[in-house]
Structure 1
């Protein structure tokens, strides 16, 4: 090895300046990179829209007249209003699989190691990725809301409450992308990240009040559904959208009686726990 090569090899990796400003700037740069990538590959967004739109149409017209909503009976219109908050919540949480697969792909291609060679905040790579996924989720939610309006869904509260409902949905989706980030860092391939990101979401979303009232479930499942963070956000969105039927019996569980607070607490707690675990895993996995 020559003297010049020895000097280059001995140079330490660039060190980030640190601080909140550095972290925010780096996160926004990474988010911009991912948004540009989405723009160049529009099929990523298009395919992400197909499944939730299918759920809206199928549940509205196939199950709309056969599921009893307490306080509204078998009215298909009432079920559509009952249903939509659940479909919105399912859509934002299923973005978890895409987030995990994207991070796993970056790891597989060595892009994460390239980021580590730059003087940037360590958590910025993951924060930027999750922010970009949040933007994509918000766009999907807008399109989905338009489709829901076309099939008969309506809100019955003022604009501020409706926006607050969508805000809680997006916060839950953002919280779950951190779970996806941890999964993406823990597996070896994007395919495994996709499977790992979906397998636990199905019981979480279906053992909830998203599609059927908890009163129709066995007692044990009722308690699970009513304390499910997914259910809290669904119930909060229903109330903020004005989609709770006048005679609907709200369960006695605390998250169902105070769903907005329960949704906020659950989402913040999930972000705090899984962001910490994901950033720690990022440092060790690519170190």
Structure 2
């Protein structure tokens, strides 16, 4: 084994609460199998010539396997996790013989079935530098030579691909949430508009609402239509729909109310049709 494999790029242990928040924000635990992740573990197994390859996501009390090949477990308690030892470092963790390493020699997965012996894992790191889990390869026999340099580089490349898929999945989920919120807002706005339209229709006096700097008619009630001679108003700007009123100065009144935001009240106004 080369020195590059024995000595990993150690960093300070990441704040665990921040790591868990980042993991939970992505909401990947207990999701259904996905072909992209399944393909990656099959490729890792083939490239590293191991019987087992796993993508693990590490929680506070358990590790859950998003994808695995050659391994019968869907999750384990955190006490049985070998992948947890990858947290806090950016490089590969390679353990040539799990029975000889003090971190793993008492692990039940080593002492009992399936009698794991070799482990190589690289962390799945977010853009903020937080570890969500690992992609790892495992063997049932010790491998003193570890991985070749090419295999180690390939495993790191596959870790980047896993992170790309995880982030894409999060973006899609965030998009779906935003679309759902927009649809609920649209339905709420439509409901309010229908209530407002009903109120307008039932009002005994004339009423209208206008939108935008051009004062486009949005809602008018029957009394208002009778006032202006039953003209087509909805969707037209004030000056176009009621040129006679614009010439009489009502357009300037609307401009001033729109500009200042202050209410304008006038009683006994004259309007010649």
TM class by shorter chain equals: under 0.3
In proportion to residue count, which structure has more strand? 2
**Which structure carries more relative contact order (alpha carbon 8 Å, separation 6+)?**
1
Q: Which has the higher helix share?
A: 1
Higher Rg of the two aligned structures: 2
- Could you tell me the TM-score, scaled by structure 1's length? 0.21
TM-score by length of 2: 0.22
